[in-house]
């Protein structure tokens, strides 16, 4: 596999910590020191479909191909207001592609899941050019009366086009089943046979401290394993592109790996946690600003509800 195109789209609305402090019992100092987040982008006039389509179009343009040359489309999404059809079908209708497509929900690690599926499709000759689009609106499953979760997230979409190649050096996915550490239950229609109280739905609930602990432990373990599997050592990695969940999580992983801070680019301070879109948005930002050089060795790592994790080592050749 190799990445031949990148794209991203973020909402126009910039929401500062001060804006949140106007209706939540929180403040800029707490949010900045505990998370590193200063602003996030939240949907206001745009829909998630708008963001997903825009990121996909940019990635296809960046790949120098036409939409009808996409022969598979994978969309990573945790939740959106379309239960069916899949978001990937709606995106394809807008961009003019008729490729087979499906959505996957790998929580915040969905980009790594999509890369894993894409690699299998490429290796078995089922596709030549695959669009991966990670489109997320976590702001819509937070309880906006609760400061513990609503300050963390941002909305956005990141996309890549991948094709055959030898850039993916290693990839690892894991699951440690744990329903409670991060959970969001969506409301569904009641049937006349529903026993009241059986199906309780509630906005996002998270055990932040436990997620923090699991994130640091699993990410640094996964990174060591994929780096070793790629025949490298942590020193040989040029950039670590980590899921943007908390600046302190990123710093802690950096310290565990004994690597310099400059190898860990971030957008958490501007974007908040954009779930599975965070790594592809970061990749697009770095590529667009000339910060990815041909031959750079990248280590990717993400974690999320499940509890799921994913990590990979990828050579950059675009
Ligand atoms: O993609 C995966 C998604 N989730 C994550 O990555 C979350 C990982 N975890 C974290 O990022 C951190 O655990 C948080 C940022 C969520 C919380 O930071 P923390 O340092 O673990 O704080 P805490 O939960 O231990 O809470 C410390 C205090 C509590 O008050 P008391 O009990 O000490 O009086 C909280 O009620 O901070 C309080 N607090 C807040 N105060 C001001 C919690 N949220 C806020 C807030 N503003 N927004």
What is the tens place of the pLDDT at every residue in 98-116?
999 999 999 999 999 999 9
Instruction: Tell which CATH architecture fits domain 169-315.
Output: 3-Layer(aba) Sandwich (3.40)
Q: Which pTM was predicted?
A: 0.97
Q: How confident is the model at residue 195 (pLDDT cuts 50, 70, 90)?
A: confident
Contact 171, 112 (CB under 8 A): yes
Q: How confident is the model at residue 252 (pLDDT cuts 50, 70, 90)?
A: very high
Rounded to whole angstroms, how far apart are CA atoms 78 and 262? Answer: 30
- Closest protein CA for atom 42 of ligand 1: 26
Mean pLDDT of the chain: 96
- Tell me, using a 6 A CB cutoff, whether residue 7 lines ligand 1: no
Q: What percent of the chain has pLDDT over 70?
A: 100
Same fold, 2-166 and 169-315: yes
Q: How confident is the model at residue 32 (pLDDT cuts 50, 70, 90)?
A: very high
What CATH number belongs to 2-166? 3.40.47.10
- Tell me, using a 6 A CB cutoff, whether residue 211 lines ligand 1: yes
Mind telling me the catalytic residues? Answer: 108, 243, 273
Q: How far is the centre of ligand 1, averaged over its atoms, from the C-alpha of 137 (Å)?
A: 21
Tens digit of each residue's pLDDT (9 = 90 or more) over 198-208: 777 788 999 99
Rounded to whole angstroms, how far apart are CA atoms 283 and 289? Answer: 10
Q: Kindly list the domain boundaries of the chain, sorted by start residue.
A: 2-166, 169-315
Closest atom of ligand 1 to CA, residue 35: 15
Burial-class residue 35 by CB neighbours within 10 Å (0-12, 13-18, 19+): buried
- Tell me, using a 6 A CB cutoff, whether residue 220 lines ligand 1: no
Residue 152 confidence (pLDDT) above 80: yes
Q: How far is the centre of ligand 1, averaged over its atoms, from the C-alpha of 148 (Å)?
A: 5
Q: How far is the centre of ligand 1, averaged over its atoms, from the C-alpha of 248 (Å)?
A: 12
Rounded to whole angstroms, how far apart are CA atoms 222 and 257? Answer: 11
């Amino acid at each position: 596999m190799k990445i031949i195109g990148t794209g991203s789209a973020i909402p126009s609305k910039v929401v500062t910590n001060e804006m949140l402090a106007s209706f939540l019992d929180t403040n800029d100092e707490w949010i900045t020191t505990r998370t590193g987040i200063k602003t996030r982008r939240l949907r206001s006039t745009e829909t998630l479909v708008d963001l997903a389509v825009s990121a996909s179009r940019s990635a296809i343009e960046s790949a120098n191909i036409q939409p009808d040359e996409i022969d598979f489309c994978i969309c990573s999404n945790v939740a959106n207001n379309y239960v069916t059809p899949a978001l990937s079908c709606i995106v394809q209708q807008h961009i003019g592609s008729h490729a087979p497509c499906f959505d996957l929900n790998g929580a915040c690690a969905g980009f790594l899941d999509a890369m894993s599926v894409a690699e299998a499709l490429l290796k078995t000759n089922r596709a030549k050019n695959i669009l991966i689009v990670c489109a997320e609106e976590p702001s819509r499953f937070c309880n906006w009366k609760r400061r513990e979760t609503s300050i963390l997230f941002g909305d956005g979409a990141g996309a890549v086009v991948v094709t055959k190649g030898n850039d993916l050096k290693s990839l690892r996915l894991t699951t440690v089943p744990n329903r409670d550490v991060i959970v969001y239950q969506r409301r569904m229609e009641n049937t006349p046979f529903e026993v009241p109280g059986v199906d309780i739905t509630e906005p996002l609930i998270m055990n932040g401290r436990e997620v923090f602990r699991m994130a640091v432990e699993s990410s640094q373990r996964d990174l060591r394993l994929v780096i070793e599997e790629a025949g490298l050592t942590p020193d040989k990695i040029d950039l670590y592109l980590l899921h943007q969940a908390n600046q302190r999580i990123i710093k802690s992983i950096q310290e565990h790996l004994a690597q310099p801070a400059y190898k860990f680019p971030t957008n958490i301070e501007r974007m908040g946690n954009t779930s599975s879109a965070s790594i592809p948005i970061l990749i697009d930002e770095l590529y667009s600003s000339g910060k990815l050089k041909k031959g750079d060795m990248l280590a990717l790592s993400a974690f999320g509800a499940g509890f799921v994790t994913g990590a990979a080592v990828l050579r950059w050749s675009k």
